[in-house]
Amino acid sequence: GAVVSQHPSWVICKSGTSVKIECRSLDFQATTMFWYRQFPKQSLMLMATSNEGSKATYEQGVEKDKFLINHASLTLSTLTVTSAHPEDSSFYICSARDPRSTDTQYFGPGTRLTVL
């Protein structure tokens, strides 16, 4: 299947700092990527849909200024958590839609963010 990578795997930062997470589709071009957040022992929550070359579409309740998304190329989307606070600590997972494969989404390995 298609491969999606995320970097970093795990990040620990101080409260008030910003953290950037990268999501890359390694062997296909993804015009659409998705960002999810997973709380402990819970399911995934879609945060936003990232479209290459245009503004991201955010789900209701997700702060656009807090979670900045940039999809600058067909293989890269970034999520920046600005002025992070402990409540932002979570597992962030991206996925990319593979247009070659019945639009199936392939998921990255996730990034664990811990804000002290």
Partner 1 sequence: GEDVEQSLFLSVREGDSSVINCTYTDSSSTYLYWYKQEPGAGLQLLTYIFSNMDMKQDQRLTVLLNKKDKHLSLRIADTQTGDSAIYFCAETPFTGGYQKVTFGTGTKLQVIP
With b meaning 16 or more CB within 10 Å and e meaning fewer, what string describes 22-47?
bbbbeebebebbbbbbeeeeeeeeeb
Interface pick for partner 1 out of 15, 17, 18, 42 (rule CB under 8 A): 42
Q: Does 110 bind partner 1 (CB under 8 A)?
A: yes
Binding segment for partner 1 (CB under 8 A), chosen from 12-20, 62-70, 80-88, 98-106, is: 98-106
According to DSSP, the residues that pair with 115 across neighbouring strands are 13
Cβ of residue 79: shortest distance to partner 1, in angstroms? 14
The residue within the footprint of partner 1, chosen from 44, 68, 74, 76 (CB under 8 A), is 44
Tokens of residue 71, six digits: 């999809």
Binding residue count for partner 1, defined by CB under 8 A: 23
Q: How far is the CB of 97 from partner 1 (least distance, A)?
A: 6
Residue among 48, 108, 113, 115 that touches partner 1 (CB under 8 A): 108
At position 30, the amino acid (one-letter code) is: A
Alpha carbon distances (Å) from 70 to 9, 76, 115, 116: 19, 8, 22, 25
Distance CA 20, CA 23 (A): 10
Query: Rule CB under 8 A: which residues touch partner 1?
Result: 1, 6, 32, 34, 42-44, 46, 49, 57, 93, 95, 97, 102-110, 112
